Amino acid sequence: MSSLLACYRLWVHPLRKFPGPTLAALTEWYRVYYTAINEGGWLEHLEKLHGRYGSVVRVTPWELHFNRPDAFDDIHVAPKPQFIKDPDFYGSLLTPNAVAALSDPHEASKRRHLLGPYFSRRSVLQLERVVQVTVDTLVDRLCMYADTREPADLFLGYRATTLDIITSYLFAQRFNALDSPKFRHPLLIGLDESLKAGWLGRYLPIKLDKWLPESFLRKATPKIVPILDQIAYIAGKLDDISANPPSLHDVGHRALFSVLFDTSKSDTGGDPWVFPRAQVIDECFSLQFAGSDTVGNACMVGTYGLLKNKEMLNQLRRELDEAWPDPQLPMTWEALEKLPYLGAVIKESLRLSHGVASPLPRKVGSSDTVIAGVAVPARTIVSCGTYFVHTDADVFPEPKKFKPERWLNGESRALEKYLVAFSKGSRTCLGINLAWCELYLIFANVFKKLDLEVWNTVDDDLKFLDFFLPLYTGNHLHAQIKVRNTTPLAPSTIRQRRYNYSS
């Protein structure tokens, strides 16, 4: 039987004419090897495959991967009806019930319609103070490093900032990750381990977290205990609110739970959540970590790029100093958006941090289609990773170099269609507005108020492995911190100051 299947896949299957390794055409275990055995090595190997076979490669018996930027739009934006998210891929993720993982486009549309207003630009502007107060705390903590002259771990510092922002925004309750010694909050440390475990576990025939008792998982995999604790925290919040609905209003601002809570169901004694409890937990968990990783990585990549090039750093500072003469007064997101070089730095940081590392597969519908000029059979799984869009040399000359200036020439508008760190189309990242707000406020406040100097970090430390999200395995980006001479505030004064925002 296996011989017949092999013959079918090699000589009869609709994808038989597409180039690629013979072993990949025979079995998905070809990819599993580079993902699981050669841990996180699939993206690097995929780049080599395109170098050998061309712009489209058969990577499994039923899947094609494209490396041309126009393929990304054809897959994610253009199809009518749209290609669905591959159920096998998304169903194996840690949060299969979250909107980002839903394969049914109609169900996803309903969920996004419910959640979208909470993440709209208008909503983010109304809660900008939540972001600013947390960014103030980051600057505060970094000033303490200026006092002690100990190098600061900016990799964890930025992630702690984004974790505190997203938990404050979603739950109206900050986790205080920035208060952890050296920013080593258990949840941040556990996240990378859970990322590896979850990504490799998708190839197991059963989901261990569904079949094994939590008590066993806690003992067998202690590094992911903070993740289990976070899931328990979310579940506990749901139970508390179910038992006491008025507690929804006992927080500083409207939290995500209020969007997901149905008062009419609560009044009748039924399940008070707009969709089943397991889905609510997945949604909260997914939004929390999607909201902390992409922005934190972009800040780390951009900071390193600026600190390695003093001319770029000085240009950013000149722009900030001219537009923002008094750092004692906060500068808003809307005002910062008008600064062209700051915007260019942020876009370049997103380009080189990529968002999600792994190609995100879609399933072609019941009719044949065309992707990047290539005829593709019906029901084929297709993908085009953001990494390949962001490093295409025809679109971005010298693609591996950090060059904010590429976004300032007359063709910068045309380039923006190829910035896909938040994906594109109807399934673009829900939290994109919050992410942009975070990026502008973090970059502006850090580089306006502080002098940074790279410490014990080299280019190779910014290489990453593909575990769905980028997993950086080198030395964390560290920097020596000084308060900028142009800042008329002493570190102790900065630590005591808090901006006064109206609700």
Binding residues for heme, by number, are 429
What are the residues whose beta carbons fall under 8 Å from the beta carbon of 75, sequence distance 6 or more?
66, 83, 362, 371, 382, 383, 384
User: In which region does residue 471 sit, left (phi positive, over 0), alpha (psi from -120 to 50) or beta (all else)?
Assistant: beta
User: Quick one: 317 exposed, middle or buried, by C-beta within 10 A (0-12, 13-18, 19+)?
Assistant: middle
Q: What is the CA radius of gyration of the chain?
A: 23
What are the residues whose beta carbons fall under 8 Å from the beta carbon of 175, sequence distance 6 or more?
163, 164, 167, 185, 187
Nearest CA to 430 out of 87, 124, 120 is that of 120
| Gap between the Cα atoms of 196 and 265, Å rounded | 39
Both tokens of 73, joined, read 């739009």
| Gap between the Cα atoms of 240 and 272, Å rounded | 12
One-letter amino acid for residue 430 of the chain: L
Three-state DSSP class for 381? strand
- The annotated binding site is made up of 429
Angle at 409 between CA 404 and CA 413, to 5 degrees: 90
- Residue 125 main-chain phi, psi, to 5 deg: -60, -40
**Tokens 């000085």 correspond to what residue?**
314
